Amino acid sequence: MTDSAGSGSGSGSSSATGRTVFLVAHTGRPAAIRSAELVVKGLLRSGLGVRVFAHEAADLPLPPEVELVTESTPGVIDGCELLIVLGGDGTLLRGAEFARATGVPMLGVNLGRVGFLAEAERDDLDKVVDRVVTREYEVEERMTLDVAVHTNGDVVHRDWALNEAAVQKVSPERMLEVVLEIDGRPVTGFGCDGIVCATPTGSTAYAFSAGGPVVWPEVEALLMVPISAHALFAKPLVTSPDSVLAVEVQSGTPHGVLWCDGRRMLELPSGARVEVRRGAVPVRLARLHHASFTDRLVAKFALPVSGWRGAPH
């Protein structure tokens, strides 16, 4: 689902245009420091305001006009029309937490290795600034997951994920015994290293590494992918976006752990039940290109396509 960039604009701080952009950067990367300096100067020259976390600004050579904020709560993005994130997948997922909480679109610039969430590469920074200034971008909504953890029949924790919610073993010498359920009906049980419940966006992340299918972003579906399962029937499952997926950690098995997007962790005692469903709140991504996901897939994984002639004319 897309809409025009103009609908995401809000009142800025003290910028000449009344427009403000929030910048998040992985300041531990020298490339991010150089990129942040280029982006900030380009936006300021065009009259846009720039807002940055104070703890990140300490590592960045930024002009005094940049607005600094000390808190790391979603409210600091109020009034910003866009969130620009410079970094690898981890930094982009950190930015997604603010994007989801506020509804502000996120534009990612990949400074890491693969960066499927990113819309641009470090060589595109001039284009990024130009497109932001002229509002030449579209906004696309990506499905998220809502996650609920039950113990003894009570919900003890709620979380969310853009890529995946993964139930994993803790002890390297012991498998995690689980039973999988879809829409209130048991499917199968086995010992494994874990289970990944993913969105189409997350199909190219952890689920891909575990042997799951690549799902195009416009496909609305949920994925359930076993990790190193000791079973004959342990195939990736693709369900309706309205399905409810559940992973039950069997009693008597060592405790497990829940990871949401590899960022937020919760220990799961034996007998815990993790329910995953389509998230009520999407993450909005700013898009600069109209390139198909197929082309993105080929480029990101450097897939061999030599010899392709295309459909006959």
Cα angle value 157/158/162 (rounded, 5°): 140
Binding residues for NAD(+): 89-90, 94, 163-164, 174, 193, 204-209
3-state secondary structure 188-247: EEEEECEEEEECCHHHHCHHHHCCCCCCCCCCCCEEEEEECCECCCCCCEEECCCCCEEE
Annotated binding site: 89-90, 94, 163-164, 174, 193, 204-209
The span from the CA of 186 to the CA of 291, in Å, is 40
Compute CA distances 109 → 124, 143, 232, 283, 299, whole Å: 8, 20, 41, 16, 15
Is 89 considered catalytic here? yes
Residue 19, Cβ density class (10 Å: 0-12 exposed, 13-18 middle, ≥19 buried): buried
In a 3-state reduction of DSSP, which class is residue 149? strand
Element (DSSP H or E) covering residue 145: strand 145-151
Q: Single out the catalytic residue among 89, 126, 183, 242.
A: 89
Please choose, from the candidates 307, 29, 281, 49, the residue with its C-alpha nearest in 3D space to the C-alpha of residue 147. Answer: 281
* Distance between CA atoms of residues 249 and 143, nearest Å: 26
Cα separations (Å) of 26 from 53, 65, 70, 135, 255?
11, 21, 17, 25, 33
**What are the residue numbers of the active site?**
89
